[in-house]
Chain A
């Protein structure tokens, strides 16, 4: 390390020199902290997997099932669909006339009239087909 001895620094050089000699060394604790930081942010460290790790061991049937339907959110959707299906089934109309609104009467001809079709839902159409 070369120091400059130009202009009026000769007088000060003894002081600078003394200061250089008494520079504190980094403590072991500080060095350890710095190396810990280095290890923490180091990319592509050997033996360190940067992507998500593989699941350990065999998966249970329950884990395979939830995994197949998209995890817990899929399971919640499946539950909702099940309850909705149950409700639709239980609350289905028991008579065919209840399906047709506005006092429309059913005849063999009108059942296949496109103008009536628009007033019926899919369920009613299935009932009609099933009754034939």
Chain B
């Protein structure tokens, strides 16, 4: 018997993993649509390389498929586990390319139009992503997980394998650095304090 897509899509992450492990093909689709955008977004922000980010996202999803039959219900949240795997894969990638200096990350384009809110938003997003790349890796991960992925500090502590206080410190330092970096971009991007 096959469940309709709508019914499957309302199931919890853990229930979907059980379904997948039992051979249900819809479960994989629902889990992919649920997690792939999130892990891809985080990997893109941390790595700032689309191809690498896609590789990381695919690998993170593959690890989810492989662990599904052995998933222990109640021990961890699937979301937290996915971000943790993604964060570790990103760290591995960054270690491998240590020889590339951080300031080699592309700067926001200078000729970004200052008119039009959509264009401003795009320029801000680009500027923020570039500024994130100037942060040390763990600060970048912590800030992105908190302010872009919307996770709580205890969740981030679990993902980054550290204490909640360390997470708070990482985020505070990261945001101070971001503020300093982005100060110079305000006027050229048309940003006005509200």
Contact = CB atoms under 8 A, between A and B. Distances in A.
A38 B61 contact: yes
Contacts of A44: 21-23
B58 A38 contact: no
B171 to A, nearest CB: 9
A30 B175 CA distance: 32
B77 interface: no
B54 interface: yes
Given A16-B147, A26-B40, A46-B23, A38 B32 contact: yes
Interface residues of B, number: 50
B25 A39 contact: yes
Interface in B117-169: 120-122, 124-129, 131, 146-150
A57 to B, nearest CB: 28
Interface string A29-46: 011011101110111111
Contact of B69 (A12, A31, A43): A43
A99 to B, nearest CB: 68
Interface stretch (A1-9, A65-73, A83-91): A1-9
Contact of B61 (A20, A37, A45, A46): A37
A19 B65 contact: no
Contacts of A1: 149-150
Given A19-B148, A35-B32, A7 B175 contact: yes
Given A37-B61, A42-B65, A43-B69, A22 B21 contact: no
10 contacts: A7-B172, A12-B147, A15-B125, A15-B127, A15-B131, A15-B178, A15-B182, A34-B61, A38-B61, A44-B21
By Cβ-Cβ distance, the 8 closest A-B pairs, closest first, are: A18-B124, A38-B28, A22-B125, A1-B150, A15-B128, A18-B125, A18-B121, A45-B23
